[in-house]
Homo-oligomer: A and B are copies of this chain.
Amino acid sequence: MKILHTKPCDDGFHMPAEFEDHYGCIMIFPHRRDSWQNGAYAARKAFAEIIGMISRSEKMIVCARYDDYDSARFMLPENVRVIEMESDDSWARDVAPTFVTNGKEIRGIDWGFNAWGGLADGLYFPWDKDNKMARKLCDSMDIDTYDMRSFILEGGSIHSDGEGTIMTTEACLLSKGRNPDMNKEEIEDMLKSCLGAEKVLWLPCGIYNDETNEHVDNICAFTSPANVVLAWTDDTSDPQYEMSKRCLEYLEGVTDAKGRRITVHKLPLPKPVTITADECDGLDDMNGEPTRTPGERLAASYVNFYISNGHVIVPQFGDSNDKQALEILRRLFPTRTVKGVYARDILIGGGNIHCITQQIPMADKFR
Contacts and interface: CB of A to CB of B under 8 A. Distances in A.
A4 to B, nearest CB: 10
Interface in A46-104: 66, 69-70, 73, 78, 81-86
Interface stretch (A136-144, A168-176, A218-226): A136-144
A132 interface: yes
A84 B84 CA distance: 6
Contact of A78 (B3, B66, B135, B136): B3
Contacts of A129: 66
Contacts of A1: 78, 81-82
B140 A140 contact: yes
Contacts of A66: 66, 86, 129
Interface residues of A, number: 21
A184 interface: no
Counting every copy of the chain, the complex holds 2
A73 B139 contact: yes
A261 interface: no
A1 B74 CA distance: 12
A27 to B, nearest CB: 15
A69 B132 CA distance: 10
Interface in A114-142: 129, 132, 135-136, 139-140, 142
Contacts of A69: 132, 136
Nearest to A141: B81
A84 B136 contact: yes
A323 interface: no
A364 to B, nearest CB: 14
A139 to B, nearest CB: 5
B140 A78 contact: no
Contacts of A78: 1-3
A238 to B, nearest CB: 44
Interface in A2-24: 2-3
Contacts of A132: 69-70
A84 B129 CA distance: 12
Given A2-B78, A73-B139, A83-B140, 5 more contacts: A1-B82, A82-B139, A83-B83, A84-B84, A84-B136
14 contacts: A1-B78, A1-B81, A1-B82, A3-B78, A66-B129, A69-B136, A73-B135, A81-B139, A81-B140, A81-B142, A82-B136, A83-B84, A83-B139, A84-B84
